[in-house]
Structure 1
Amino acid sequence: MSTGNLEAALGKPTEPSPGPSGVTFQVINVRIVREGHHKYVLYSIVILKANSGLDEDPIVIDRRYSDFERLNQALRKKSPLLMRGIAFPKKKITGNFKSETIAARSRAFEQFLTHIFSTDSLRVLTEFSDFFYGHTLREAYQKLVNGAYAEAIPLFKTSLGVQRKLQGDFHHHVLTTLCALTACAYSLERFENAHLFSESALECLGGCQGRKYTVPLIELSIRLCWQLGKEKVDLENRLKDLRAKGHVVDGAPSLLEVVVSDFMPSSS
């Protein structure tokens, strides 16, 4: 079946009910992928902020049925009671590539993700976020640990876009990714980019819990302001206040060291 026929089978995307933060999930494209003697259907899901205006930064991810199935099984194992009322399309022995099956699964996947997102206790589970950006983020951190900062940056940026959609601008995961981007850009002496990332990270720091990042982030931000000839008095005063309150400032680990330490325990 051609991609055109698949798109026709899908028809006009439905409008799933937005989650509590105004996020919707829509399957906007499907295609059959052939790998040797095997083939599978790839579903392109767009993550949208549901509001009155146009979402200028939609996020699209590609997933296959097996990816959805792993998420479904993981969540049912973790939270069986909460998942009891959430439907999931069953696996079929035959007919998986029929346009009717693909169209039905597309709608079911939209409802499945939206239902999970609308349930607070499910939305915050690692298994749910891992479905969207886990692999990309792990690859980014591995690149960073190996010193491949230029290769890590686009992976972190991709993860950041999804994190902001799903978790908002002031989530701890958003802060850690912004700090990783700051550290990578600084290590490459891309000081303008590092400064932009650090400003976003400082703003995020004010709205979430990230104490271990506070001193290293402010210190690196001061260094960047010095490199770029920007005003840094407010940041220096902020650091003095932290020292006066008993925070360890002198001899504190670098931002890069803190970012790496966050990743290493989970990488073993």
Structure 2
Amino acid sequence: MSAASALTTKQLQQKLSSEKKSEHPVLLLFEIPSTRVVENQLSKYVVYEVVVMLSGSFDSSRVSVERRYSDFLRLQRLLLEEFDSTLEDVSPPPKLLSGNFCAAVLLQRRLALQDYLAKLFSTRCVRHSPLFAAFFTDAEQRGALVLLRGGQFSLALRQLEDVLALQEKLQCWQSPALRLPTLCALAVCHCDLQQHQEALDAAQRALPVARRCGLRSHRAALLRLLMDLSYRLGLPGARLQDELQGLQDQPPTLKYDPPTLKELVIQQFT
């Protein structure tokens, strides 16, 4: 019997999928399919819907954010401060003095901004920069934190899930710590909504990241939360207790009254 025939169907599918991914590296694709005009007493401006997709595989999670032209300009300014001459040939379309709301102009600008994001991603230093990831997630993450602090946990949860979906698309080119604040915030929201299993799942995903990045305060807070959730769900927690004790025994000694996970989440953006 050959090695291939000895594989189960599932193993064979996984092998073929792995080979396919190695032949076709995953890339990010950007689409700006629509715009909307926002008008109030003080101003009138255009908002662009930005969709982020993964290439090379079926991307079932369609996640989009809305950004103004000024957001693209701010991103360019921050990147120029960081990388200077590397981006001398990459820039967003120029600012217009008139005709901003004309349908033909909006179409042209949508395509130009789409091309701008693609060029940024093709620049290695940019796609690995936290500034690039923050462009797609920071506003929504901060908005979710405002909701969380206001006790609107269900609304915060929905927003955080979208943020996490975007971060998972970006994670191949970013620090492992990128998702940690979001996972911690998700765990906090689920806890406050008494969704203990979902809180456990989020905290379990966050803990390895905290370990890998050497974030002791987050690691300790996650361990304490996981111990509490394990008790509530009737799960064993001795290994969590041992890990927390070992962490507390390491110099420098952790504070006697260390911050909770919710406090750490709130501190992250204040």
Give the TM-score, by structure 2 length: 0.75
Equivalent in 229, 233, 254 of residue 248 of structure 1: 254
Partner of 1:159: 163
Equivalent in 228, 234, 238 of residue 233 of structure 2: 228
Residues 151 and 100 of structure 1, relative CA distance in 2, 3 Å threshold = closer
What is the CA–CA distance in structure 2 between the aligned matches of 1:232 and 1:251, rounded to whole Å? Answer: 21
| Counterpart contact for 2:211–2:219, Cα < 8 Å | no
Q: Which has the higher contact order (CA 8 A, sep 6+)?
A: 1
1:44 matches 2:44: no
| Counterpart contact for 1:29–1:43, Cα < 8 Å | yes
RMSD between aligned alpha carbons?
3.0
1:91 matches 2:99: no
| Counterpart contact for 2:27–2:55, Cα < 8 Å | yes
1:199 matches 2:204: yes
Partner of 1:171: 176
- Residue identity in the other structure for 2:266: V
Equivalent in 248, 251, 257 of residue 263 of structure 2: 257
| Counterpart contact for 2:76–2:91, Cα < 8 Å | no
Number of residue pairs aligned between Structure 1 and Structure 2: 244
Secondary structure of 2:269's counterpart equals helix
Secondary structure of 1:28's counterpart equals strand
- Residue identity in the other structure for 1:185: H
Residue 125 (structure 1) shift:
4.7
- Residue identity in the other structure for 2:234: G
- Residue identity in the other structure for 2:69: Y
Offset from partner CA, 1:87-123 (integer Å, 9 cap, x none): 3211233443444433332222122112223334334
Structure 1: gaps of 5 or more residues:
1-19
Structure 2: gaps of 5 or more residues:
1-24
What is the CA–CA distance in structure 1 between the aligned matches of 2:191 and 2:175, rounded to whole Å? Answer: 22
Of stretches 161-170 and 81-90 in structure 1, the one that deviates more from structure 2 is 161-170
* Identical-residue share of aligned pairs (%): 29
What is the CA–CA distance in structure 2 between the aligned matches of 1:249 and 1:233, rounded to whole Å? Answer: 22
Give the TM-score, by structure 1 length: 0.76
Larger % of helix: which?
A: 2
- Residue identity in the other structure for 2:258: A
Secondary structure of 2:66's counterpart equals strand
Secondary structure of 2:51's counterpart equals strand
Secondary structure of 1:61's counterpart equals strand
